Amino acid sequence: MQVDVLDHPLAAVALTILRDESTSRPTFRAALHDLAMMLVYEAARTLPTTPVTVRTPLAETTGARLAVEPVVVPVLRAGLGMLPAAHAFVPDAVSAFIGLARDEETFQPTVYLESVPADLTGRPVLLLDPMLATGGSALHALRLLANRGARGIVVVSVVSAPEGIAALEASGLDLRLVTAAVDDGLNDTAYIVPGLGDAGDRLFGAV
């Protein structure tokens, strides 16, 4: 699996705002949007394009358009915080949704929503999952997408734990990971350390 860790001063600034426990919810949402823009921009580097001819006011020239409409898949809830960034760069993308809740005792994901096209063959897919912790939720989503024909899925995460990266690598799936940080590891409740806490709660409030 190719792992690309975003190395950019603006990404570091946005990530620091996200990590800071004193950051307010509106500021957290805005910083996540900013960082997701950078991550999606990098993740989109591998999208296939088709040459097109356009006329400028001066001459005819060759440009590009995306060859295939990508599918963006936020893992609910927290992945929703990254969706507007994907829409900004890839407005024609189809949005699919996978809702996973984490059992706080077993840390295993349980599915409460799957709204995904039946056939993803030949479609570029970006999976938006801000916290790659154990990798359990991401793997569940990735297997579902792979079973529907998706290949070369790009996982877009804000903070990744080595354990989650190892789980993705061990899956044998054809993947690329774009992340802003690889942190130290997981604590005994499977939160990423230092991490940024519960991304869903910080975005939307604790329910």
C-beta of 59: minimal distance to ligand URA in Å? Answer: 51
- Using CB under 6 A as the binding rule, the residues of this chain from 12 to 71 that contact ligand URA are none
Based on CB atoms, which residue is closest to ligand URA, 78 or 141?
A: 78
Residues 6+ apart with CB under 8 A from 205: 25
Measure the CA–CA gap between 100 and 86, rounded to whole angstroms: 20
Q: What angle do CA 63, 72, 122 make, to 5 degrees?
A: 65
Q: Based on CB atoms, which residue is closest to ligand URA, 19 or 151?
A: 19
List all residues 6 or more positions away from 52 whose beta carbon is below 8 Å from its beta carbon: 62, 63, 64, 65
- Tell me the β-bridge partners of 61: 54
Among positions 70, 74, 109, 195, the unique one binding ligand URA when judged by CB under 6 A: 195
Cβ neighbours, 10 Å, residue 173? 18
> Of the residues 4, 19, 29, 102, which is catalytic?
102
CA nearest 182: which of 116, 110, 145, 132?
Answer: 132
What amino acid occupies position 156? V
198 is catalytic: yes
Q: Which is nearer to ligand URA, 44 or 98 (CB)?
A: 98
| Least spacing, CB of residue 138 vs ligand URA, in Å | 10
From 40, 90, 145, 199, residue interacting with ligand URA (rule: CB under 6 A): 199
**Shorter beta-carbon distance to ligand URA: residue 123 or 202:** 202
Least separation in angstroms between CB 169 and ligand URA = 19
Q: Is 119 a catalytic residue?
A: no
Whichever of 89 and 97 has its CB closer to ligand URA, that residue is 97
Q: How far is the CB of 94 from ligand URA (least distance, A)?
A: 25
Q: Which of 131, 141, 153, 177 binds ligand URA (CB under 6 A)?
A: 131
Is 191 among the residues that bind ligand URA (CB under 6 A)?
yes
Helix ranges restricted to H, 128-174: 136-147, 162-170
Question: Is residue 102 among the annotated active site residues?
Answer: yes
**How is residue 92 annotated by DSSP?**
T
Among residues 168, 178, 162, 113, the alpha carbon closest in space to that of 146 is found at 168
Is 85 within 8 Å of 37 (Cβ atoms)?
A: yes
Site for ligand URA, rule CB under 6 A: 78, 131, 133, 191-192, 195, 198-200
Positions marked active-site: 102, 106, 198, 201
